[in-house]
């Protein structure tokens, strides 16, 4: 008979295996200790979550887990990522970069938790632009008064074989709503949008327009945690915040 035991957190485990089973006993011991280790960290993570929630009640803390840096914990709150020490005494807002691969681990994690099912978006309320066969589906959120949105709009024409859905997010200034209504209610919304980008003019709409659609799009932006424009979603549902060129956008899609 082979016999082994382990003691952790005040509990003693005894494992007796028949015959010549030392390897099996060792493997079982490793499994038991790993489970106990995992349970210990889970308890620490839940404790830290409670501490931070009490200290920062305005945040909706969705999860806490170990970060790649020993002693530092990743905190997801309001769909954002920041870091905290074990006791919640200090928080760090910033990016963790893998020095070997140069990967931005914080950005990767943000994209992971904010990924969406792009097919679930209300395309009927979007401005549709098709390039080539249109097989790449891209959704982007623009405000008519956003200078970077106007700069990025022509870049979308450079993405080959793509269908681009532009959702107007009228949040930057009071007249963003009026401009969005005039564009969406025009006889040709894609043309109206391009004229606005190129000339800064929008033809007066011929028929009354329901502002309910604009408010619905604003609510959609809040639901998707869109903090600013432009915000773009790739075919995979991955989010890209801020201006991105057509070339870089194509590269990101092709790397999926």
pLDDT 10s digit of each residue in the chain, 256 long? 545 444 544 444 444 445 556 666 656 655 554 444 444 557 788 899 999 999 999 988 989 999 999 999 999 998 889 999 999 999 999 999 999 999 999 988 988 888 899 999 999 999 999 999 999 999 999 999 999 999 999 999 999 999 999 999 999 988 899 899 989 988 889 999 999 999 988 776 666 666 789 999 999 999 998 989 999 999 999 999 899 999 999 999 988 7
Q: What is the pLDDT of residue 53?
A: 92
Q: What is the pLDDT of residue 206?
A: 60
230: cis peptide before it, omega within 30°? yes
Helix (H, G, I), strand (E, B) or coil at 148: helix
What is the pTM (predicted TM-score) of this model?
Answer: 0.71
The segment(s) of the chain belonging to CATH 3.40.30.10 are: 118-254
The segment(s) of the chain belonging to CATH 3.10.450.70 are: 2-113
Q: What angle do CA 191, 192, 197 make, to 5 degrees?
A: 95
Q: What is the pLDDT of residue 113?
A: 87
Q: What is the CATH number of domain 2-113?
A: 3.10.450.70
Q: What is the pLDDT of residue 41?
A: 55
Q: What is the pLDDT of residue 15?
A: 44
CB 160 within 8 A of CB 131: yes
| Range 43-53 burial, b when 16+ CB lie within 10 A, else e | eebeebbebbe
Q: Which CATH class is domain 118-254?
A: alpha beta
């Amino acid at each position: 008979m082979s016999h082994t035991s382990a003691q952790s957190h005040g509990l003693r485990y005894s494992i007796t295996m028949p015959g010549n089973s030392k390897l099996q006993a060792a493997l079982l011991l490793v499994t038991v200790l790993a489970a106990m280790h995992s349970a210990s960290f889970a308890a620490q993570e839940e404790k830290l979550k409670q501490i931070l929630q009490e200290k920062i009640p305005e945040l909706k803390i969705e999860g806490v887990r170990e970060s790649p840096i020993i002693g530092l914990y990743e905190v997801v709150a309001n769909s954002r990522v920041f870091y905290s020490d074990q006791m919640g005494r200090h928080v760090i807002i910033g990016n963790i970069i893998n020095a070997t691969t140069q990967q931005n681990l914080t950005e990767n994690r943000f994209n992971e938790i904010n990924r969406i099912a792009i097919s679930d978006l209300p395309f009927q309320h979007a401005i549709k632009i098709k390039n080539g066969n249109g097989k790449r589906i891209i959704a982007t959120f623009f405000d008519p008064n956003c200078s970077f949105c106007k700069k990025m709009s022509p870049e979308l024409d450079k993405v080959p074989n793509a269908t681009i859905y532009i959702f107007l997010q009228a949040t930057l200034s009071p007249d963003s709503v009026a401009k969005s209504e005039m564009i969406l209610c025009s006889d040709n919304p894609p043309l109206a949008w391009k004229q606005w980008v190129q000339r800064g003019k929008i033809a007066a709409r011929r028929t009354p327009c329901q502002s309910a659609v604009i408010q619905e799009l604003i609510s959609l932006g809040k639901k998707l945690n869109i903090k600013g424009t432009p915000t773009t979603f790739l075919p995979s549902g991955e989010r890209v915040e801020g201006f991105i060129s057509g070339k870089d956008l194509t590269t990101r899609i092709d790397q999926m």
